[in-house]
Structure 1
């Protein structure tokens, strides 16, 4: 469901939302949003430094006046109460992995944005302190990062070594031959300092690939 600074949010048996600290083994059951659906849904866990508290975020996609939109519900851990956020992201829907990734003060998901008759791939960013949407590329450390398929033969990671609004060009960081993995990954969960790619196939099956040694390793979850 989400992780942030060592805390992990889990959905247990599709019935409970549980916040777990694997270091201390402490856990806390969270209240369910209303309505609560007993199946996979988009979510993310983030930290709001302005109030020194964690926030659990659930975005939901709908259609209004023929246009797609994203609305958000937030649970601040200290208050333990769900509330709806006035901010709405118009013309955009979420796709791909349900689990949002927290980086640079925001939770990120893959999305599709309307552009005339076409839909463009974007990364949707929700700032947990400002509680508003932004649009950015991915992150590797403090740098922008993009990962995708290339002509059906490779999956490549590219990095932009400046800030969000810089015009500096990308450079290729890693290349993964498509025939070296068992299936197309649903997401890349992280890129290690050694250059390894942690591939997420279905949010249950993980694989670690080392491009220099050309080795991959399955990780049990």
Structure 2
């Protein structure tokens, strides 16, 4: 695993983990291993931390294991006995915690979803924030409309506000994964779109049309994230001279 500052070009090859082996990925079913990760600043301890882990469920046994790398100490810590959660992918940093959407199940049926958070200072899961009841809906003309919501007051369920929506053709929806990244000042949305080829697109919420920004070749896969520019070194956590 490499910690990289795209602003300065500096990188840091993190020490390999030897105390815990993450099981092989097995999909998203009820016998599965779902990996997750994240990175953020712990203001309480003035430290930058890398988080990785997995949610593992097989033959009735289930667990969530989290491993945290501290840039200040230069070492990994492993946390077990945290319960079990059902989520995967990179976490979103806000208010000193990483956040993921989680699907809730009862008797093997999806019953809802929520946002869970991992506090970087205390290194444990904390907030459980319910999501809005409707995030996608069918329309009468074979289009799926994805609704984009914003929680305007952190932790307050009643503050969820729908700010935009985007349309995907029904015939494409089985093969596409759409991830909104941000809404620009001109009102367009920057979207990571996976259909045929993975791409970054600008979506006009007014015209409801896509415009390609970047497209992979040969079906290469990528993850797109938003980052804040900084001169902090990924090696020492001090300010880098450039």
Structure 1-normalised TM-score? 0.71
Which one of 203, 209, 222 corresponds to residue 209 of structure 1? 203
Aligned partner of 1:31 in structure 2 is 15
SS of residue paired to 1:43 = strand
Say how many residue pairs are matched.
195
The question of 1:173 aligning with 2:173 is answered no
Structure 2 unaligned regions, length at least 5: 26-33, 215-221, 223-242
Q: 1:1-221 residue pairs with structure 2 within 5 A?
A: 17-34=1-18, 35=21, 41-63=35-57, 66=60, 68-86=62-80, 88-90=82-84, 92-95=85-88, 98-115=89-106, 117-119=108-110, 120-133=112-125, 134-136=127-129, 148-151=135-138, 153-165=144-156, 167-168=158-159, 170-179=160-169, 184-202=176-194, 205-220=199-214
Q: 1:125 to 1:87 in 2, by over 3 A?
A: farther
Computing the radius of gyration from Cα coordinates, the structure with the larger value is 2
Q: 1:69 to 1:49 in 2, by over 3 A?
A: same
Aligned partner of 1:12 in structure 2 is none
Q: 1:181 to 1:191 in 2, by over 3 A?
A: farther
Distance 1:107 1:21 in 2: 19
Q: CA RMSD in A?
A: 3.4
Distance 2:133 2:149 in 1: 5
Structure 1 unaligned regions, length at least 5: 1-16, 139-144
Structure ranking higher in strand proportion: 1
SS of residue paired to 1:167 = helix
Between the two structures, name the one with larger relative contact order (CA 8 Å, sep ≥ 6).
Answer: 2
SS of residue paired to 1:164 = coil
User: Is this contact kept in 1: 2:64–2:80, CA < 8 A?
Assistant: no
4+ residue segments displaced more than 6 Å: 36-40
How far is the alpha carbon of 1:188 from its aligned partner? 2.3
Distance 1:51 1:190 in 2: 29
How far is the alpha carbon of 1:94 from its aligned partner? 1.3
Distance 1:181 1:103 in 2: 35
